[in-house]
Amino acid sequence: MTIEFRPQIKDLQAYKPGKPMENVKREYGLDRVIKLASNENPLGCSEKSKQAIQDALSHLNIYPDGNTTDLKETIAEKFNIKTTQILPSSGSDEMVDQISKTFIQEGDEVIMADITFPRYISTCKMMGGVPVVVPLKNHAYDLEGMKEKITDKTRLIWLCNPNNPTGTMFTKDVLDDFLQSVPQDIVVVYDEAYREYVTREDYPKNALEYLPKYPNLIIMRTFSKAYGLAALRVGYTLASEEIIDHINRIRGPFNVNTLAQVGAIAALKDDEFLQRSYDVNEEGKRYLYKIFQELNLEFAPSETNHIFVDVKKDAQEIFVELQKRGVIIRPIYGNFIRVSIGTMEENVTFVEKLREVL
């Protein structure tokens, strides 16, 4: 007798995380390794978050607040939205999963870009949905192309703005037009994981303003990037009360742990840290642009904390050679790598090693 697995899961691949920095150190006998592979905040996180976490350590025996009451209230106050329209999660990752479980049924079509955040496609397949993939144009979302793919079977559309891994964005005008033309029985999920890094004025800075007009819209945000709390696993989602109520029915009772809750609340109260993260990112971005231009390497203009670069050589090879020299980046495909913007010192080291391997 053999165990049966759901057929939808058979062809899925487990997420392959990069090697931990300690393993890379040991393997190549290095004293120091820098990781510019996962779009983390090189400054760490707010001191206020650290203090809040310290203070909460004496309550580890108590279950977290399953309603994330204080976190929701802090978000509600800061962004002027009702607590019933907010749902925190264990990172956006968990929310991608929960949204797919809430909406996608066998045979439903789900429109997404390629290349974009990979969890959109894997959770779609997991639910038996049919991914309808629209290639990027010039490394950016092709919303016109996505619109053309809408059929009677379309259930959900994933948008990532700015996009991971290309760092590119689409404008408020483009989003306005898109939301207007999508039938309102199709769910549009708008993932703005990198919103805090955007510099351009024509970016939809306040996506929340769309919620009253578009009851089919879901907005996802995370504390893993500009807030520097990736290890805690915490993000939040904003949508109509009806959508939030339904997602709430399928989530685990204590999905956001206590340290994540207090850390996130404190992070929301530290605008100075957020500003510094933005400034350091901008400085690093300008420096890396200059170097890539000098090296004649093409890159996509980034509105995030990472840059998508054509290194003109096999990305996998460049990744291995950089790793041997203590710098971890992410090979994407072909000759394209994604490098996260680090501290200035990390950026300089990356450039030194990149010059060497090129």
Ligand X SMILES: Cc1ncc(COP(=O)(O)O)c(C=O)c1O
Least distance between ligand X and beta carbon 308 (Å): 12
Indicate which single residue of 40, 97, 109, 191 sits in contact with ligand X (rule: CB under 6 A).
191
Q: Does residue 117 touch ligand X according to CB under 6 A?
A: yes
Name the residue nearer to ligand X (CB basis): 64 or 167: 167
In this chain, which residue has its C-beta nearest to ligand X?
A: 91
Q: Does residue 332 touch ligand X according to CB under 6 A?
A: no
Q: Does residue 68 touch ligand X according to CB under 6 A?
A: no
Candidate segments 69-77, 89-97, 104-112, 262-270, binder of ligand X by CB under 6 A: 89-97
Least distance between ligand X and beta carbon 340 (Å): 10
Q: Using the CB atoms, write b or e for 36-54: b if 16+ within 10 Å.
A: bbebbbbbebbebbeebbe
Least distance between ligand X and beta carbon 16 (Å): 14
Rounded CA separation 259/172 (Å)? 35
Q: Does residue 168 touch ligand X according to CB under 6 A?
A: no
Indicate which single residue of 64, 88, 91, 129 sits in contact with ligand X (rule: CB under 6 A).
91
18 DSSP β-pair partners: none
Least distance between ligand X and beta carbon 208 (Å): 18
Least distance between ligand X and beta carbon 30 (Å): 25
Q: Does residue 177 touch ligand X according to CB under 6 A?
A: no
Candidate segments 75-83, 90-98, 136-144, 255-263, binder of ligand X by CB under 6 A: 90-98
Q: Does residue 160 touch ligand X according to CB under 6 A?
A: yes
Q: Does residue 193 touch ligand X according to CB under 6 A?
A: yes
Binding mask 232-251 for ligand X (x = CB under 6 A): ---x----------------
Q: Does residue 267 touch ligand X according to CB under 6 A?
A: no
Lookup result for tokens 């840059």: 307
Least distance between ligand X and beta carbon 225 (Å): 7
220 DSSP β-pair partners: 191, 237
Q: Does residue 39 touch ligand X according to CB under 6 A?
A: yes
The token pair at 265 is: 């609340």
Q: Does residue 102 touch ligand X according to CB under 6 A?
A: no
Least distance between ligand X and beta carbon 94 (Å): 7
Indicate which single residue of 222, 302, 335, 340 sits in contact with ligand X (rule: CB under 6 A).
222
Least distance between ligand X and beta carbon 38 (Å): 7
Least distance between ligand X and beta carbon 39 (Å): 6
Q: Does residue 93 touch ligand X according to CB under 6 A?
A: yes
Name the residue nearer to ligand X (CB basis): 104 or 159: 159
Q: Does residue 136 touch ligand X according to CB under 6 A?
A: no
- Give the chain as a 3 state SS string: CCCCCCHHHHCCCCCCCCCCHHHHHHHHCCCCCEECCCCCCCCCCCHHHHHHHHHHHHHCCCCCCCCCHHHHHHHHHHHCCCHHHEEEECHHHHHHHHHHHHHCCCCCEEEEEECCCCHHHHHHHHCCCEEEEEECECCECCHHHHHHCCCCCEEEEEEECCCCCCCCCCCHHHHHHHHHHCCCCCEEEEECCCHHHCCCCCCCCCHHHHCCCCCCEEEEEECCCCCCCHHHCCEEEECCHHHHHHHHHHCCCCCCCHHHHHHHHHHHCCHHHHHHHHHHHHHHHHHHHHHHHHCCCCECCCCCCEEEEECCCCHHHHHHHHHHCCEECEEEECCEEEEECCCHHHHHHHHHHHHHHC
Residues within the interface to ligand X (CB under 6 A): 39, 91-93, 117, 160, 164, 191, 193, 222, 224, 230, 235
